[in-house]
Structure 1
């Protein structure tokens, strides 16, 4: 089953090296005159991930994670550290062994999970906490339980979707001296327009009252697979941290509302707070929209897909074939689909954004748009994916939008504390990424439709709005 992510990390190449035989579990060698110990771990798949941001944090703690290669369909990831385990002088990032374990937890293959967990425990057992903060490993708690409960201090939940508050795309709290700004006034006599958002759901926020959006499940959509935790909640409440992508859908919806205040939002809760969503959930949502439009039971003009995935063999992937079909059907129905290009600074195609650019058998009446991110000064964001398959560019850096109000907690004036970027008090945050460039472009299109003529034919009103929008940009 394909897994979608808020695209943020990938390898420079699609595949890992093919090895002749499985590497030894543990090896000791010398790198740069320094004795090292390396543990090779079998992981769930050859994940396209360079771990560049993770390693920026781990380097000071004398640790690194490196793709080793693939043997018979099993991928191996190397965890390497200096034997003495001492951090570099002046290294201030609170990197703990528990953070390393957390990075590995979701990548361990099911069939070797227990073995790998035991190997990690043994390998890191000499120094469970590299900087002196021992995680709780009370008797009676299995290593697997510890792996599932620890939380990285830099917000990483999966090898495929690493986020950091220190990276160019990280979410951070903001202060608004005048309080919540009002939304712009809607146009006079707007045409009805609806936007479908497949994301983490929508949380409580003044910008998103009950009459501004609808949960697709209340209209009869039944998602495939597990349903994520409610949008107002932390997807991992046991650890006391807000997950790296919690509030993503609320942020996207807030951007759309700022740009298209009269548009209604149809929310499909398909993504969890870790940034991952099963591909089948996305497909079921898109197919449901097609069925409802065909039966004339609802109206959707624009679909925002602020996520995606990479595929080594697009022509051979059944999921991508099904995705291409349903997106083509939506395009024939006149629905404008906007997809995020991804945040990996690569020209390698990400899907579904690259489907239009790689099409060889014609395009639907309303072709998909792939959105890359721009800096505030109009230059291309250095993290944004690029290439000929990126059709449009929109602001996607340092944007301000809504997050669930439940994500903030008050502090105490008589207690000194460092800035906590995840204490999203006030219900607003700053965030960057092509996800939000896609939301921005979605909002522009929705507003153009609302301000256009009241045409009954969906393809015609979407086309007219696009032409008018392009003429004004």
Structure 2
């Protein structure tokens, strides 16, 4: 396992505006320093409440970002809690209206697997595997993938849906120019391949919300979800990312963005790789299908679990599409550990989630039904086995599935 503290330190070094907060000992979270997010309708009231410390206000579509002056040294977690409760009196939120505001710190989100207590696992080069063969479909189905982007790959590079977005969403493989593949570069391309192995006829819509180091933030995810809501054509959304929040509650801003997609869109998210039962968001949200990872018929040792997990699928030694990249490490035992030629093997709940998303999309396409109806069938506990703390077991579902 990679050293946990060393990983955190590398993230903080690369993201100097980030900080670790730990209001409850042993339950840390990462946030953007001196930032709070506010629902658009509450932006003016929140700005008034924090006017003594507010440096700038940036309005987005349905959310505003307030930047606080670093010299004020405001505890943004305490501030968010007080504004949410409509707190008055002492403290940074003095003067806030009694009506609670919709406020959250800007949490960092991260792709899985490489994070706190995640598996000591990097992608490994794999031999080519056959391209998924599209079966007859009764309707078009679109799966949106919010991740690190999408690089060209023989499985889909000639598809019209890829050509329409190829330049916008291309993965950044070595952002720090150190010669190594960034820690989670290729994550989105890998996830896309898992979806296609379960839903070969699906159209994919990629939105880049994570850097190649696997790190993004809540605001970026909200922006992407708002774009999807306006677009209105996503049947399934896959989020192989997430975070712990400072108060172990769902972010109200992210909750609103998920709800804005509407009931016809199914949102699937990975349960995270901290090997515990602490809620991981957005997977733990009620409208979201939270997916844990299996290793054969048992929980993968790294996978989160708990009452909030809805489903589980194979998440170890998954093989899928990947990027082309030859890093500096020398060959060992006859194999080059960082010479990737379009295929890789990887483990994590990140790769169990798109298996479930793909199964839902594949069933919707094959039978011409809505994604919500397909999800009800794939996740029906009466028709499928379940495991305690892991939810419904979603099996391979055909020759295109990962084994």
TM-score interval for Structure 1 and Structure 2 normalised by the shorter chain: 0.5 to 0.7
Alignment correspondent of 1:87: none
Alignment correspondent of 1:241: 180
Say if 1:353 and 1:368, in contact at 8 Å, map to a contact too: yes
Distance 1:168 1:314, change over 3 A: closer
Alignment correspondent of 1:187: 135
Aligned to 2:219, the other structure's residue is in SS state helix
CA distance in 1, matches of 2:172, 2:224: 21
Which of 181, 189, 193 is the matching residue for 1:254?
Answer: 193
Alignment correspondent of 2:244: 310
CA distance in 2, matches of 1:284, 1:260: 26
CA distance in 2, matches of 1:243, 1:349: 27
Which of 211, 221, 231 is the matching residue for 2:171?
Answer: 231
Aligned to 1:369, the other structure's residue is in SS state strand
Task: Report deviation, 1:43.
Answer: 9.7
Say if 2:113 and 2:349, in contact at 8 Å, map to a contact too: no
Task: Report deviation, 1:467.
Answer: 5.3
Residue ranges of structure 1 left out of the alignment (5+ in a row): 1-7, 11-41, 49-66, 68-72, 74-109, 113-157, 220-226, 294-298, 357-366
Task: Report deviation, 1:272.
Answer: 0.4
Alignment correspondent of 1:172: 123
Distance 1:257 1:212, change over 3 A: farther
Say if 1:301 and 1:462, in contact at 8 Å, map to a contact too: no
Alignment correspondent of 1:403: 322
Give deviations 1:187-223, integer Å, cap 9, x for gaps.
224421000000000112112324164488689xxxx
Alignment correspondent of 1:350: 280
Distance 1:183 1:197, change over 3 A: same
Say if 1:308 and 1:342, in contact at 8 Å, map to a contact too: yes
Distance 1:252 1:424, change over 3 A: farther
Equivalences for residues 292-441 of structure 1 within 5 A: 292-293=231-232, 299-314=233-248, 320-330=251-261, 332-356=262-286, 367-375=287-295, 377-405=296-324, 407-408=325-326, 419-421=335-337, 423-441=338-356
Distance 1:171 1:333, change over 3 A: same
Distance 1:190 1:182, change over 3 A: farther
Alignment correspondent of 1:13: none
Say if 1:215 and 1:267, in contact at 8 Å, map to a contact too: no
Alignment correspondent of 1:202: 150
CA distance in 1, matches of 2:382, 2:223: 31
Distance 1:324 1:184, change over 3 A: same
Task: Report deviation, 1:440.
Answer: 1.1
Give deviations 1:225-245, integer Å, cap 9, x for gaps.
xx99x40532222x1111110
Task: Report deviation, 1:309.
Answer: 0.8
Alignment correspondent of 2:20: 46
Task: Report deviation, 1:184.
Answer: 3.2
Task: Report deviation, 1:271.
Answer: 0.7
Task: Report deviation, 1:312.
Answer: 2.5
| Bigger shift: residues 207-216 or 333-342 | 207-216
Say if 1:169 and 1:397, in contact at 8 Å, map to a contact too: no
Which of the pair is proportionally richer in strand?
2
Task: Report deviation, 1:174.
Answer: 3.2
CA distance in 2, matches of 1:416, 1:465: 43
Alignment correspondent of 1:94: none
Distance 1:216 1:350, change over 3 A: farther
Alignment correspondent of 2:360: 445
Aligned to 1:383, the other structure's residue is in SS state coil
Distance 1:215 1:268, change over 3 A: farther
Aligned to 1:251, the other structure's residue is in SS state helix
Task: Report deviation, 1:424.
Answer: 3.5
Task: Report deviation, 1:385.
Answer: 0.8
Task: Report deviation, 1:285.
Answer: 0.9
Aligned to 2:149, the other structure's residue is in SS state coil
Query: Highest CA radius of gyration, 1 or 2?
Result: 1
Distance 1:232 1:182, change over 3 A: farther
Note the aligned Cα RMSD (angstroms): 4.0
Alignment correspondent of 1:123: none
Residue ranges of structure 2 left out of the alignment (5+ in a row): 6-15, 23-27, 29-33, 35-68, 72-108, 385-393, 396-403
CA distance in 2, matches of 1:161, 1:260: 22
Which of 197, 209, 212 is the matching residue for 1:270?
Answer: 209
Task: Report deviation, 1:448.
Answer: 1.0
TM-score by length of 1: 0.54
Distance 1:333 1:161, change over 3 A: closer
CA distance in 2, matches of 1:43, 1:287: 24
